[in-house]
Amino acid sequence: MATKDSGTIGVGIGGWTYEPWRGAFYPEKHPQKRELEYASRQLTSIEINSTFYGAQKPESFAKWHEQTPETFVFSVKAPRYATHRKVLADAGESIERFLTGGLTELKHKLGPINWQFSPSKVFDADDIEAFFKLLPQKVDGFLLRHVVEARNDSFRTPEFIALARQYGIAVVIAVDSKYPLIADATAPFVYVRLMGTQEGEPLGYPAATLKSWSQRAKDWARGAAPDGLDQLAPAMPGTEKRDVYLYVIGGHKVSNPAAAMSLIKSIA
């Protein structure tokens, strides 16, 4: 969804291969090799998680591009060998190998890249800035959007927000998880991961909660700061529209597609 006065809002799930979704999200006896094709027509974005665990072939990225609608967008989780290290400033070679390993075969469907830090990684301004400097603005002519997922409470500081804004890097807004919630907008886009779906809720979350997050997505898209989320620093100046990427991931995973589809309907 996008309007003249707001950015695009992409909503989806993490990955698309999950056995319990077969018969719940995917129709009975739906061919497994066509699950992405099906999912991409019910959702508007998907976060690729397999890239976190190992390198993917350029042919795989190209195939995923071909199997999805023109307006579909993937976010991609960066490999743990680049982010789960004591000194992030040493990740240059790993970052380059990942970014030049076929990722751009997604072409215009390539959305943000999520660089998820280890929970043991403590905020160190010099090391974080050195890491930010390693993230290029473009690869093979494609503009890149970077987002970092901080999983240690030490990142809940205005100094981290200031660094992210300086380099135009978004910070993952991690909701309903054991990790810190950092809700400050720091880039021309916003990246949200809802991780608290519950068994017994037909849509994963109560309807009122989903309605609240759909409204927040629309607020961010038009450049406003949503209600009900504490900020670590003053809001960014101006009210420029932003793209929003919102994923229902983790929690009671079998319910995540239903929650995402409910959000899409509410946002439309």
CATH of 9-267, one of 2.40.390.10, 3.30.10.20, 3.30.390.10, 3.20.20.410: 3.20.20.410
Angle in degrees, 0-180, between the axes of helices 256-267 and 35-42, rounded to the nearest 10: 40
The percent of residues above 90 in pLDDT, for the chain, comes to 93
The rounded distance, in Å, linking the Cα atoms of 92 and 213 is 36
Give residue 5's pLDDT.
78
Q: E strand or H helix at 112, and its extent?
A: strand 110-116
Name the pLDDT band for 240 (thresholds 50, 70, 90).
confident
- Per domain, the residue ranges of the chain are 9-267
Instruction: Give the residue among 214, 150, 172, 188 at the shortest CA–CA distance from 11.
Output: 214
CA distances from 174 to 39, 53, 118, 131 (A): 23, 20, 14, 21
As a whole number, the mean pLDDT across the chain is 96
Residue 236: band (very low, low, confident or very high) from pLDDT cuts 50, 70, 90: confident
Give the integer Cα–Cα distance in Å for 126 and 97.
23
In angstroms, rounded to a whole number, what is the distance separating the alpha carbons of residues 148 and 128? 10
What mean pLDDT do residues 232-240 have?
Answer: 81
Tell me the two tokens of residue 50: 């397999």
Quote the tokens at residue 214.
């759909």
Q: How far, CA to CA in Å, does 156 sit from each of 20, 48, 262?
A: 36, 26, 31
Average pLDDT over residues 170-197: 97
Q: pLDDT digit string (tens) for 91-127?
A: 999 999 999 999 999 999 999 999 999 999 999 999 9
Residue range 3-13: average pLDDT? 88
* CA–CA dist 95, 54 (Å, integer): 13
Question: Taking 60 as the threshold, does the pLDDT of residue 2 lie above it?
Answer: no
- Identity (one letter) of the amino acid at 12? G
Distance CA 79, CA 115 (A): 8
pLDDT > 80? residue 4: no
Please enumerate in sequence order all residues whose Cβ is within 8 A of that of 139, keeping only pairs 6 or more positions apart, or say none.
99, 100, 103, 104
Compute, in degrees rounded to 10, the torsion defined by CA atoms 43, 44, 49, 52.
180
Cβ atoms of 20 and 255 closer than 8 Å: no
**Could you tell me if 223 and 240 are in contact, meaning their C-beta atoms sit under 8 angstroms apart?**
yes
d(CA 126, CA 103): 28
Residue 228 pLDDT > 80, yes or no?
yes
Query: Is the predicted pLDDT of residue 73 greater than 60, yes or no?
Result: yes
